[in-house]
Protein backbone atom coordinates (compact mmCIF):
# COMPACT_ATOMS: atom_id res chain seq x y z
CA UNK A 1 0.00 0.00 0.00
CA UNK A 2 2.99 2.26 0.47
CA UNK A 3 3.61 1.85 -3.23
CA UNK A 4 0.09 3.20 -3.97
CA UNK A 5 0.70 6.26 -1.80
CA UNK A 6 3.99 7.01 -3.60
CA UNK A 7 2.30 6.79 -6.98
CA UNK A 8 -0.86 8.78 -6.31
CA UNK A 9 0.28 11.23 -3.64
CA UNK A 10 2.29 13.53 -5.94
CA UNK A 11 -0.54 13.48 -8.49
CA UNK A 12 -3.02 14.72 -5.90
CA UNK A 13 -0.62 17.44 -4.83
CA UNK A 14 -0.21 18.48 -8.46
CA UNK A 15 -3.98 18.72 -8.92
CA UNK A 16 -4.28 20.80 -5.76
CA UNK A 17 -1.59 23.15 -7.06
CA UNK A 18 -3.38 23.48 -10.38
CA UNK A 19 -6.65 24.23 -8.58
CA UNK A 20 -4.97 26.97 -6.55
CA UNK A 21 -3.45 28.48 -9.70
CA UNK A 22 -6.82 28.36 -11.46
CA UNK A 23 -8.59 29.94 -8.46
CA UNK A 24 -5.94 32.69 -8.22
CA UNK A 25 -6.25 33.37 -11.97
CA UNK A 26 -10.03 33.67 -11.66
CA UNK A 27 -9.69 36.08 -8.74
CA UNK A 28 -7.20 38.22 -10.64
CA UNK A 29 -9.51 38.29 -13.66
CA UNK A 30 -12.42 39.33 -11.45
CA UNK A 31 -10.29 42.07 -9.90
CA UNK A 32 -9.29 43.30 -13.35
CA UNK A 33 -12.92 43.66 -14.46
CA UNK A 34 -13.91 45.40 -11.22
CA UNK A 35 -11.03 47.87 -11.57
CA UNK A 36 -11.87 48.44 -15.23
CA UNK A 37 -15.50 49.13 -14.32
CA UNK A 38 -14.41 51.55 -11.59
CA UNK A 39 -12.14 53.38 -14.04
CA UNK A 40 -14.86 53.70 -16.65
CA UNK A 41 -17.31 54.88 -13.99
CA UNK A 42 -14.80 57.47 -12.81
CA UNK A 43 -14.30 58.71 -16.38
CA UNK A 44 -17.95 59.19 -17.31
CA UNK A 45 -19.86 59.69 -14.04
CA UNK A 46 -19.93 63.48 -14.37
CA UNK A 47 -19.77 63.74 -18.16
CA UNK A 48 -23.39 64.72 -18.70
CA UNK A 49 -23.42 67.25 -15.86
CA UNK A 50 -20.07 68.71 -16.92
CA UNK A 51 -21.33 69.48 -20.41
CA UNK A 52 -24.05 71.69 -18.95
CA UNK A 53 -21.91 73.44 -16.35
CA UNK A 54 -18.42 73.81 -17.81
CA UNK A 55 -17.21 77.37 -18.06
CA UNK A 56 -13.79 77.12 -19.71
CA UNK A 57 -12.22 80.15 -21.32
CA UNK A 58 -13.05 81.77 -23.59
CA UNK A 59 -16.14 79.92 -24.83
CA UNK A 60 -18.64 77.57 -23.25
CA UNK A 61 -22.17 76.58 -24.29
CA UNK A 62 -23.72 79.18 -22.03
CA UNK A 63 -21.33 81.86 -23.36
CA UNK A 64 -22.11 81.47 -27.07
CA UNK A 65 -22.25 84.91 -28.67
CA UNK A 66 -25.13 84.67 -31.12
CA UNK A 67 -26.69 88.09 -30.77
CA UNK A 68 -25.96 91.10 -28.62
CA UNK A 69 -26.32 89.82 -25.06
CA UNK A 70 -27.19 93.26 -23.73
CA UNK A 71 -30.74 92.20 -22.98
CA UNK A 72 -33.51 94.78 -23.13
CA UNK A 73 -35.16 95.75 -19.88
CA UNK A 74 -38.58 94.33 -19.07
CA UNK A 75 -40.14 97.58 -20.19
CA UNK A 76 -38.20 97.59 -23.48
CA UNK A 77 -39.10 93.96 -24.17
CA UNK A 78 -42.77 94.70 -23.42
CA UNK A 79 -42.61 97.64 -25.85
CA UNK A 80 -41.10 95.41 -28.56
CA UNK A 81 -43.86 92.89 -27.99
CA UNK A 82 -46.59 95.53 -28.18
CA UNK A 83 -45.22 96.88 -31.46
CA UNK A 84 -45.14 93.39 -32.92
CA UNK A 85 -48.66 92.53 -31.70
CA UNK A 86 -50.06 95.74 -33.19
CA UNK A 87 -48.54 94.82 -36.55
CA UNK A 88 -47.87 91.05 -36.64
CA UNK A 89 -47.31 91.10 -40.41
CA UNK A 90 -44.30 93.37 -40.04
CA UNK A 91 -41.24 91.19 -40.41
CA UNK A 92 -39.04 93.96 -39.04
CA UNK A 93 -41.06 94.19 -35.81
CA UNK A 94 -41.23 90.42 -35.49
CA UNK A 95 -37.47 90.16 -35.82
CA UNK A 96 -36.89 92.95 -33.31
CA UNK A 97 -39.11 91.23 -30.77
CA UNK A 98 -37.60 87.78 -31.44
CA UNK A 99 -34.03 88.98 -30.97
CA UNK A 100 -35.03 90.96 -27.91
CA UNK A 101 -36.68 87.90 -26.37
CA UNK A 102 -33.65 85.78 -27.22
CA UNK A 103 -31.20 88.26 -25.72
CA UNK A 104 -33.33 88.35 -22.58
CA UNK A 105 -33.38 84.56 -22.46
CA UNK A 106 -29.59 84.34 -22.68
CA UNK A 107 -29.23 86.69 -19.75
CA UNK A 108 -32.27 85.55 -17.73
CA UNK A 109 -33.05 81.97 -18.85
CA UNK A 110 -36.65 80.83 -18.51
CA UNK A 111 -38.77 78.30 -20.33
CA UNK A 112 -41.33 80.96 -21.25
CA UNK A 113 -38.75 83.19 -22.94
CA UNK A 114 -37.13 80.21 -24.67
CA UNK A 115 -40.47 79.00 -26.05
CA UNK A 116 -41.52 82.48 -27.14
CA UNK A 117 -38.22 83.19 -28.90
CA UNK A 118 -38.17 79.79 -30.61
CA UNK A 119 -41.72 80.17 -31.95
CA UNK A 120 -40.93 83.65 -33.29
CA UNK A 121 -37.75 82.53 -35.02
CA UNK A 122 -39.54 79.55 -36.57
CA UNK A 123 -42.18 81.88 -37.98
CA UNK A 124 -39.47 84.17 -39.38
CA UNK A 125 -37.68 81.25 -41.02
CA UNK A 126 -40.95 79.96 -42.52
CA UNK A 127 -41.83 83.38 -43.92
CA UNK A 128 -38.41 83.87 -45.48
CA UNK A 129 -37.84 80.32 -46.66
CA UNK A 130 -38.36 81.25 -50.29
CA UNK A 131 -36.41 84.52 -50.17
CA UNK A 132 -32.77 83.69 -50.83
CA UNK A 133 -31.77 87.34 -50.48
CA UNK A 134 -32.70 87.50 -46.80
CA UNK A 135 -29.85 86.44 -44.46
CA UNK A 136 -31.11 83.95 -41.90
CA UNK A 137 -27.90 82.81 -40.24
CA UNK A 138 -28.73 84.74 -37.06
CA UNK A 139 -32.13 83.08 -36.80
CA UNK A 140 -30.73 79.62 -37.54
CA UNK A 141 -28.02 80.06 -34.94
CA UNK A 142 -30.55 81.22 -32.36
CA UNK A 143 -32.74 78.22 -33.15
CA UNK A 144 -29.75 75.89 -32.79
CA UNK A 145 -29.06 77.29 -29.34
CA UNK A 146 -32.70 77.32 -28.24
CA UNK A 147 -33.21 73.75 -29.47
CA UNK A 148 -30.07 72.62 -27.68
CA UNK A 149 -31.20 74.17 -24.41
CA UNK A 150 -34.60 72.49 -24.85
CA UNK A 151 -32.75 69.16 -25.25
CA UNK A 152 -33.99 68.84 -28.80
CA UNK A 153 -30.57 67.89 -30.10
CA UNK A 154 -31.71 66.73 -33.54
CA UNK A 155 -33.14 70.16 -34.30
CA UNK A 156 -30.07 71.85 -32.81
CA UNK A 157 -27.88 69.81 -35.14
CA UNK A 158 -30.12 70.64 -38.11
CA UNK A 159 -30.04 74.40 -37.53
CA UNK A 160 -26.29 74.42 -36.85
CA UNK A 161 -25.72 72.66 -40.17
CA UNK A 162 -27.82 75.34 -41.89
CA UNK A 163 -25.53 78.00 -40.46
CA UNK A 164 -22.40 76.11 -41.51
CA UNK A 165 -23.69 75.68 -45.05
CA UNK A 166 -23.41 79.47 -45.35
CA UNK A 167 -20.22 79.85 -43.34
CA UNK A 168 -18.24 76.61 -42.71
CA UNK A 169 -16.00 78.38 -40.15
CA UNK A 170 -18.79 79.93 -38.08
CA UNK A 171 -17.50 79.26 -34.56
CA UNK A 172 -20.77 79.13 -32.63
CA UNK A 173 -22.33 76.92 -35.29
CA UNK A 174 -19.41 74.49 -35.02
CA UNK A 175 -19.64 74.51 -31.24
CA UNK A 176 -23.36 73.77 -31.24
CA UNK A 177 -22.95 71.11 -33.94
CA UNK A 178 -20.30 69.40 -31.84
CA UNK A 179 -22.37 69.57 -28.66
CA UNK A 180 -25.58 68.32 -30.27
CA UNK A 181 -23.75 65.52 -32.10
CA UNK A 182 -22.18 64.49 -28.79
CA UNK A 183 -25.58 64.40 -27.11
CA UNK A 184 -26.95 62.28 -29.97
CA UNK A 185 -24.15 59.77 -29.49
CA UNK A 186 -22.37 60.62 -32.73
CA UNK A 187 -18.85 60.77 -31.29
CA UNK A 188 -17.17 60.78 -34.68
CA UNK A 189 -19.28 63.69 -35.90
CA UNK A 190 -18.73 65.56 -32.64
CA UNK A 191 -14.95 65.14 -32.87
CA UNK A 192 -15.02 66.44 -36.45
CA UNK A 193 -17.04 69.51 -35.43
CA UNK A 194 -14.86 70.29 -32.41
CA UNK A 195 -11.71 69.87 -34.47
CA UNK A 196 -13.04 72.40 -37.00
CA UNK A 197 -14.01 74.65 -34.08
CA UNK A 198 -10.50 74.39 -32.62
CA UNK A 199 -8.89 75.29 -35.93
CA UNK A 200 -11.32 78.15 -36.56
CA UNK A 201 -10.96 79.73 -33.11
CA UNK A 202 -7.66 78.45 -31.67
CA UNK A 203 -9.71 77.80 -28.53
CA UNK A 204 -8.04 75.04 -26.44
CA UNK A 205 -11.41 74.01 -25.07
CA UNK A 206 -11.93 72.28 -28.44
CA UNK A 207 -8.82 70.16 -27.85
CA UNK A 208 -10.03 69.27 -24.34
CA UNK A 209 -13.42 68.06 -25.61
CA UNK A 210 -11.78 66.16 -28.48
CA UNK A 211 -9.64 64.40 -25.88
CA UNK A 212 -12.71 63.35 -23.88
CA UNK A 213 -14.53 62.06 -26.95
CA UNK A 214 -11.47 60.24 -28.27
CA UNK A 215 -11.00 58.60 -24.88
CA UNK A 216 -14.63 57.46 -24.90
CA UNK A 217 -13.83 55.67 -28.14
CA UNK A 218 -11.00 53.86 -26.31
CA UNK A 219 -8.38 55.52 -28.50
CA UNK A 220 -5.19 57.40 -27.66
CA UNK A 221 -6.26 60.90 -26.60
CA UNK A 222 -2.92 62.05 -25.19
CA UNK A 223 -2.15 64.52 -28.01
CA UNK A 224 -5.43 66.38 -27.47
CA UNK A 225 -5.04 66.44 -23.70
CA UNK A 226 -1.45 67.65 -24.01
CA UNK A 227 -2.65 70.49 -26.24
CA UNK A 228 -5.40 71.37 -23.77
CA UNK A 229 -2.98 71.26 -20.86
CA UNK A 230 -1.06 74.19 -22.33
CA UNK A 231 -4.12 76.43 -21.96
CA UNK A 232 -4.78 78.72 -19.02
CA UNK A 233 -7.73 76.73 -17.73
CA UNK A 234 -9.02 76.86 -14.18
CA UNK A 235 -7.23 74.67 -11.59
CA UNK A 236 -10.26 72.36 -11.51
CA UNK A 237 -10.15 71.84 -15.26
CA UNK A 238 -6.38 71.35 -15.26
CA UNK A 239 -6.83 68.65 -12.62
CA UNK A 240 -9.55 67.01 -14.67
CA UNK A 241 -7.25 66.93 -17.72
CA UNK A 242 -4.51 65.26 -15.65
CA UNK A 243 -6.91 62.58 -14.39
CA UNK A 244 -8.14 61.89 -17.91
CA UNK A 245 -4.55 61.63 -19.16
CA UNK A 246 -3.76 58.90 -16.61
CA UNK A 247 -6.93 56.94 -17.33
CA UNK A 248 -6.36 57.20 -21.07
CA UNK A 249 -2.80 55.90 -20.76
CA UNK A 250 -4.11 53.01 -18.62
CA UNK A 251 -6.77 52.27 -21.23
CA UNK A 252 -4.09 52.19 -23.90
CA UNK A 253 -1.90 49.96 -21.67
CA UNK A 254 0.86 52.58 -21.81
CA UNK A 255 1.95 51.87 -18.25
CA UNK A 256 5.19 53.84 -18.44
CA UNK A 257 3.39 57.09 -19.28
CA UNK A 258 0.55 56.24 -16.88
CA UNK A 259 3.07 55.89 -14.05
CA UNK A 260 4.83 59.15 -14.95
CA UNK A 261 1.54 61.05 -15.00
CA UNK A 262 0.26 59.41 -11.80
CA UNK A 263 3.46 60.17 -9.88
CA UNK A 264 3.29 63.77 -11.07
CA UNK A 265 -0.36 63.94 -10.00
CA UNK A 266 0.41 62.63 -6.51
CA UNK A 267 3.23 65.16 -6.14
CA UNK A 268 0.98 68.01 -7.24
CA UNK A 269 -2.17 66.96 -5.35
CA UNK A 270 -0.95 65.07 -2.24
CA UNK A 271 -4.18 65.76 -0.34
CA UNK A 272 -6.58 64.38 -2.96
CA UNK A 273 -7.94 60.84 -2.73
CA UNK A 274 -8.06 60.30 -6.48
CA UNK A 275 -4.29 60.82 -6.70
CA UNK A 276 -3.62 57.70 -4.61
CA UNK A 277 -6.46 55.79 -6.22
CA UNK A 278 -4.99 56.39 -9.68
CA UNK A 279 -1.50 55.46 -8.48
CA UNK A 280 -3.02 52.25 -7.15
CA UNK A 281 -4.62 51.60 -10.52
CA UNK A 282 -1.23 51.93 -12.17
CA UNK A 283 0.43 49.58 -9.68
CA UNK A 284 -2.37 47.06 -10.12
CA UNK A 285 -1.98 47.18 -13.90
CA UNK A 286 1.74 46.55 -13.38
CA UNK A 287 0.93 43.44 -11.32
CA UNK A 288 2.09 45.02 -8.04
CA UNK A 289 -1.04 44.31 -6.04
CA UNK A 290 0.47 44.88 -2.59
CA UNK A 291 1.59 48.37 -3.58
CA UNK A 292 -1.79 49.01 -5.21
CA UNK A 293 -3.58 48.14 -1.96
CA UNK A 294 -1.30 50.50 -0.03
CA UNK A 295 -2.20 53.36 -2.37
CA UNK A 296 -5.93 52.60 -2.16
CA UNK A 297 -5.65 52.68 1.65
CA UNK A 298 -4.02 56.09 1.37
CA UNK A 299 -6.91 57.24 -0.85
CA UNK A 300 -9.41 56.09 1.77
CA UNK A 301 -7.41 57.84 4.50
CA UNK A 302 -7.82 61.07 2.51
CA UNK A 303 -11.53 60.48 1.89
CA UNK A 304 -13.31 57.70 3.77
CA UNK A 305 -16.19 57.80 1.27
CA UNK A 306 -14.11 57.58 -1.92
CA UNK A 307 -16.05 54.77 -3.60
CA UNK A 308 -13.61 53.68 -6.36
CA UNK A 309 -10.79 53.06 -3.85
CA UNK A 310 -13.10 51.24 -1.44
CA UNK A 311 -14.37 48.99 -4.26
CA UNK A 312 -10.86 48.31 -5.57
CA UNK A 313 -9.50 47.43 -2.13
CA UNK A 314 -12.45 45.15 -1.37
CA UNK A 315 -12.11 43.37 -4.71
CA UNK A 316 -8.41 42.85 -4.23
CA UNK A 317 -9.01 40.96 -0.98
CA UNK A 318 -11.48 38.43 -2.41
* pLDDT tens digits, one per residue of 176-189: 999 999 989 898 99
Lowest mean pLDDT among 24-38, 70-84, 87-101: 24-38
Fold match flag (31-53+210-318 vs 59-202): yes
Q: Is the pTM of this model over 0.85?
A: no
Nearest to 273 by CA among 317, 233, 313: 313
Q: For residues 80 and 76, give the distance between their C-alpha atoms in angstroms, rounded to a whole number.
A: 6
Sign for the CA dihedral angle at 267, 224, 240, 255 comes to negative
Q: For residues 39 and 2, give the distance between their C-alpha atoms in angstroms, rounded to a whole number.
A: 55
Where are the chain's structural domains? Answer: 31-53+210-318, 59-202
- The contacts of residue 47 (CB under 8 Å, 6+ apart) are 212
Rg (CA), the chain: 28
Residue 115 has pLDDT above 70, yes or no: yes
Residue 65 has pLDDT above 60, yes or no: no
231 DSSP assignment: S
The Cβ of residue 48 has, within 10 Å, a number of other Cβ atoms equal to: 10
pLDDT class of 233 with cuts at 50, 70, 90: confident
pLDDT class of 20 with cuts at 50, 70, 90: low
C-alpha dihedral (190, 194, 197, 199), degrees to nearest 10: -130
Residue 67 has pLDDT above 80, yes or no: no
Give the domain 59-202 fold: 1.25.40
CA 69, chain centre distance (Å): 26
- The contacts of residue 102 (CB under 8 Å, 6+ apart) are 66, 67, 113, 117, 121, 142, 146
Check: CATH 1.25.40.10 for 31-53+210-318?
yes
Contact 246, 258 (CB under 8 A): yes
Residue 101 has pLDDT above 80, yes or no: yes
Contact 312, 281 (CB under 8 A): yes
Q: What is the pLDDT of residue 189?
A: 93
CA angle centred on 171, ends 167 and 172, rounded to 5°: 105
Amino acid sequence: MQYSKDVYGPDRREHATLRRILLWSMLMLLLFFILLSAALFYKVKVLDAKLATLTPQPTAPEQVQIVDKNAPSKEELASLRQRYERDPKSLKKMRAYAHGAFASYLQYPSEALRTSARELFEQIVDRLAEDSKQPLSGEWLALARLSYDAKNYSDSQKWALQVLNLDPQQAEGLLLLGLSSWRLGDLRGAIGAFDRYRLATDDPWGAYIIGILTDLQNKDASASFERARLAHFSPELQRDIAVRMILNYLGQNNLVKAQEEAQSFVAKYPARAEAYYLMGMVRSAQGKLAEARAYWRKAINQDQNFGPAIAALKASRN
